[in-house]
Structure 1
């Protein structure tokens, strides 16, 4: 049993290290040895647990890109819960940063597009329902990713600390307006 716990701990450490490096350096500038060094393990374990750097990227992104917990909450609180997830989660920018910084690599880009669709857009569209759930999910993604990019990845002065409270209210209202388009 101790061996399984060590394997689980090693795998988890590799995923944390991978998320950190892929979200700050991108796919191309992150090596398997870099991830293993940060995790404090031998680099051969990346291949053992994930098969390749691409497999590690997929597992790291898959482990953090999931909207279903927010969708399972009270529908009336969705907008507040979503904005809280975007603004109050210490690493909320991580998945978006991983995808943006890895877009230059064709395989990592394809993985990002696939996981974004299956882990965020499709479940969100189904939750939103008719009319036009897919289009509303796409617009919400554009809204949220634009906000995170402008606040955390490429910060603009208008979103400084003095305005973040009003920006959050605006984001909640804009999210609610898109969600309400399908209300009976």
Structure 2
């Protein structure tokens, strides 16, 4: 069966952004091994050769998606003394940067693929854990960085799975205060 692709207006930057968005959406819904360049091209309405021209291989495109998984506000921005409070508030109540679950899903769906899992590990170490550990400082910074990240991701997933906190406002504020204290303790060591 022949599939005709509707031509898009020529705008290289917009097309590149659309391909990247389609790839992120695909990788958040399907495993790395199940996503094909033709699938992504079809989602955007371009030829698969154009996807390859802009991004190279599927591995290169996946790496680019992983780079953009860090579009959420940087954990290290802001005063270190208020780290626990501001990160817990965002994890409990959400923010204008919601959509982090999609980024987490890209990471979680990658676990089943040996190739993608290795890329995620390498990218996470280079782009996130290395800088986060340096920011935390101290001999046990790798441990504290992993604990903080796991706690934050767990709360984000919990919030997204339930469609938001199912607690009263007062209970949510109590949980935010407790999470803030735990996170700050992890960071301060």
Question: Counterparts of 1:25 and 1:161 in 2: how far apart (Å)?
Answer: 31
1:75 aligns with 2:80: yes
1:6–1:106 CA distance, 2 compared to 1 (3 A): same
TM-score (norm 2): 0.79
- Which structure has the larger Rg? 2
Partner secondary structure for residue 69 of structure 1: coil
1:160 aligns with 2:158: no
Report matched runs for 1:32-181 at 5 Å.
32-65=37-70, 69-86=74-91, 87-88=94-95, 89-152=97-160, 155=161, 159-160=165-166, 162=168, 164-181=172-189
Question: Counterparts of 1:157 and 1:91 in 2: how far apart (Å)?
Answer: 12
Number of aligned residue pairs: 175
Name whichever of 133-142 and 62-71 sits farther off: 62-71
Partner secondary structure for residue 11 of structure 2: helix
Question: Counterparts of 2:177 and 2:39 in 1: how far apart (Å)?
Answer: 40
Which structure 2 segments of 5+ residues have no match?
1-9
TM-score (norm 1): 0.81
1:174–1:108 CA distance, 2 compared to 1 (3 A): same
Question: Counterparts of 2:77 and 2:11 in 1: how far apart (Å)?
Answer: 32
Question: Counterparts of 1:74 and 1:81 in 2: how far apart (Å)?
Answer: 9
Name the structure 1 match of 2:5. Answer: none
CA contact (8 A) 1:22 1:30 kept: yes
Which fold has the larger relative contact order, with Cα–Cα distance below 8 Å and residues 6 or more apart in sequence?
2
Q: Cα deviation per residue 1:37-69 (whole Å; 9 max; x = unaligned)?
A: 222322212211111112111101112226783
Q: Which runs of 4+ in 1 moved over 6 A?
A: none
Per the TM alignment, residue 156 of structure 1 is displaced from its structure 2 partner at its CA by 6.3
